[in-house]
A and B are shown apart, each in its own frame.
Chain A
Amino acid sequence: MSGNGWIGGWILPLSLAWRETRGHFLRSAVTATAVFLGVASLLVMTALSRGMEAQNREMYLRMGGAQVIQVTATKATDALQDASFARSRGLRLSDVDVLRQNLPQFDGWVPEVSAGMGRISLKGARVRAMGTASTWDRFDVLGIAVDTSEDLTRARWESGEALLVVGADVASKVSSGRPAAALGKELLVGGRPARVAGVFKSQGKFDFRNMEVMIPLAWYTRVQGDADPTLSTLKAKVARLDDVADAPRQLKTELLALHRGVEDVDVSTNDDLLENSRKTIATMSLVTILIAGVSLLSGAVGILNVGLASLSSRVQELGTSKALGASSSLLFRQVLFESLLVAGLGGGAGLAVGLAPALIPDGTLPWTLQLSGVDLLGGLFLSVGVGVVSGLVPAWKASRLDPVEAMRG
């Protein structure tokens, strides 16, 4: 029977549809734009979200994983709170000794005083850097890897020697682009000489530690003349994973007692941070899906509109095809393929853009863009779906044409 078989069934309608699409290439390309934008934005944002998630997981592990709890000093947000905060001394180094005694379930304590960005000046180079004063435990608890000189020992660090561990960017700037050459260099930090005893191992171009300068907390207290400085953060490591669930509450209770009932610290786990980050990414993904959805819907409406207009303009041709023996189902497939080809054109271009991140070298962007074969298949499926949905009505109308009426035009 005509219209059946492999040639009549698929190749012929596809070939005729391709001629029609090619014959109006500009129109087809313009119509396909919305599908392209939908598929491309979806894939790029999927790749970006995946990359951010992967980086957050890496960051989570670098911050000590599930077992590290972070205590951050907060500031009063109104006059009432200000009065309340005055009753407390705030988060102090002396708190750590009390907490260490009272909370044996924690086996690592990392007090930190952060100078913030841009407040460090180094001899011979003006470097924007983020200063942190902390104890030796910071290296162990947070698993920080450092390229060291022989100067860098726990004893020297804890004794308050004027030592520095600097990030790769800082090291590069003070040693003409060769980080390793920074080791042993003497720099002025806040007008006081200190020796570079270590360089943080960089995890890539966008590693936040690249711009960090870390000094011993003992040196900081001596220079400041304050044996009990206010801490910016305190990181505490829970010894056993089983105790993690209760640890934040216990820590908070203990700090409340120490701070005379004033809630002047935030206690959060890395899981909380990871969860917050996931929520942000999920929100971003949802917005992207909405935008891509609107784009794809516009694409479908556009293809449907062009399909119907195209059908009206060549009713005679289709009627002639029927008179020559084309079956209704063959015309259905032919017109459906036309929509599929236009959607495929847009979707294909969108997939190409989605694949492009694979060509970007690692470290060029803050995030590694990650896209799986399933995502690409998903993009392809969406394009096909748009083509089918928008092509069904014109295809059905084409198949129902009365050849006599159609040939009259």
Chain B
Amino acid sequence: MDAILETKGLRKSYRLGKEDVPVLHGIDFRLGRGEYGAIMGPSGSGKSTLLNILGCLDRATGGQYLVEGRLVSAFSESELADLRARSIGFAFQSFQLLPRLTLSENVELPLQYLGIPRKERRRRVAEIMERLGLGQRGRHLPMEVSGGQRQRAAIARALVKKPALLLADEPTGNLDSTTTAEVLDLFRQLHEEGNTILLITHEHDVAVRAQRRWKIFDGLMEEMA
């Protein structure tokens, strides 16, 4: 199975005053196309830092990081933006929907960044909204729908561009148990349909739903059985 993500000795440290504070100590990690993985770890373990690097929002200070076989460490800012726009879909814990845009407009935004023609955008948005059970909520503003619907909209926004990878950061962190179950069912379905998913969580119950699991602790990561 070809790798969507691959890291080799990935390191990250932050400058604090005159000192470098290491956060990631050389992570080797590989996620194949169509896999559903979860990275678990407590607060301060470095999982958010890893997610930011894997999502091309931040740069590693050492090691290699490849997305679909391309070494992104050498990418310019605009190349990283392009990679995020085309290949990576994000679902955030706090949804991060733009408050002045309707759910449909939020979902349409990544397609606009890609310069996709309006007709095609509308078709894809309608399709994904319907697929995620938001067909009747397209004209609503984020503040007008429930937390579960907001997360669905955020997932729809991540998937509408058909990314190589869906990256979810604590996607159920702000949801009640019923809605959490719904969202996890949705991830399972998306995985069964062939999507590659990597979620980051500190909840064991969420992680166990994934096909592969890794544990990160003190900047080191290992795969769990």
Q: Could you tell me which A residues sit within 8 Å of B by CB distance?
A: 1-8, 12, 19-20, 23, 316-317, 320-330, 403-404, 407
Say if the beta carbon of B74 comes within 8 Å of chain A. Answer: no
Asked if B100 lies at the interface with its beta carbon under 8 angstroms from chain A, I say yes
B208 at the interface (CB under 8 A from A): no
B111 to chain A, nearest CB (A): 10
- Within 85-114 of B, Cβ neighbours of A (below 8 Å) are at 85-86, 90, 92, 96, 98-101, 109-110, 112-114
Given A324-B110, A325-B81, A328-B77, the answer on whether A5 and B100 have CB atoms closer than 8 Å is no
Q: Are A324 and B115 in contact, CB atoms less than 8 angstroms apart?
A: no
Q: What is the minimal beta-carbon distance from B76 to any residue of chain A, in angstroms? A: 10
Chain B contacts for A321, CB-based, 8 A: 98, 109
With both chains docked as a complex, state the minimum distance between the C-beta of A299 and any C-beta of chain B, in angstroms: 25
B57/A404 in contact, CB under 8 A:
yes
B86 to chain A, nearest CB (A): 7
Closest chain-B Cβ to A320's Cβ sits at a distance in Å of 4
Chain B nearest CB, measured from A80 CB (Å): 79
Residues in A with CB closer than 8 Å to B92 are 320, 407
Tell me how far the C-beta of A403 lies from the nearest C-beta in chain B, rounded to whole angstroms: 5
State whether the Cβ of B192 lies closer than 8 Å to any Cβ in chain A: no
Set of chain B residues within 8 Å of A322, measured between Cβ atoms: 57, 81, 84
Tell yes or no: B58 within 8 A of A by CB. Answer: yes
Write out, one digit per residue, whether chain B residues 141-153 have a CB within 8 A of any chain A CB (1) or not (0).
Answer: 0000000000000
A404 touches B110 (CB 8 A): no
Instruction: Tell me the bound Cα distance from A19 to B112 in angstroms.
Output: 15
Is B109 in contact with A3, judged by CB distance below 8 angstroms? no
Known pairs A3-B113, A8-B115, A403-B57; A325 contacts B84 (CB<8 A): yes
Chain B residues with CB under 8 Å of chain A are 52, 55, 57-58, 77-79, 81-82, 84-86, 90, 92, 96, 98-101, 109-110, 112-115, 117, 157
B113 and A317 contact, CB distance less than 8 A:
no
A404 touches B52 (CB 8 A): yes
Question: How far is it, in angstroms, between the C-alpha of A7 and the C-alpha of B114 when the chains are bound?
Answer: 9
Identify the closest chain B residue to A2 (Cβ).
Answer: B85
Contact B96 A407 (CB under 8 A): yes
User: Closest residue of chain B to A320, judged by CB?
Assistant: B96
B167 to A, closest residue via Cβ: A323
Q: How far is the CA of A287 from the CA of B110 in the complex (A)?
A: 51
**Distance in Å from the Cβ of B154 to the closest Cβ of chain A?**
10
Q: How far is the CB of B147 from chain A (nearest CB, A)?
A: 17
Q: A1-B78, A317-B99, A329-B78 are in contact. Are A323 and B110 (CB under 8 A)?
A: no
The one of B84, B96, B98, B113 in contact with A12, judged by C-beta atoms closer than 8 angstroms, is: B113
Which has the most chain B C-beta neighbours within 10 Å: A2, A322, A403?
A2
The residue in A320, A321, A326 that gathers the most chain B C-beta atoms within 10 A of its C-beta is: A320
Closest to B90 in A: A323
Q: Please tell me if the beta carbons of A324 and B82 are within 8 angstroms of each other in the complex.
A: no
Known pairs A321-B109, A325-B81, A325-B110 / 7 extra A-B pairs, C-beta < 8 Å = A3-B81, A7-B117, A8-B112, A12-B113, A320-B98, A327-B113, A329-B78
Instruction: Evaluate whether A1 and B82 lie within 8 angstroms (CB atoms) in the complex, with A23-B100, A324-B110, A325-B114 already known.
Output: yes
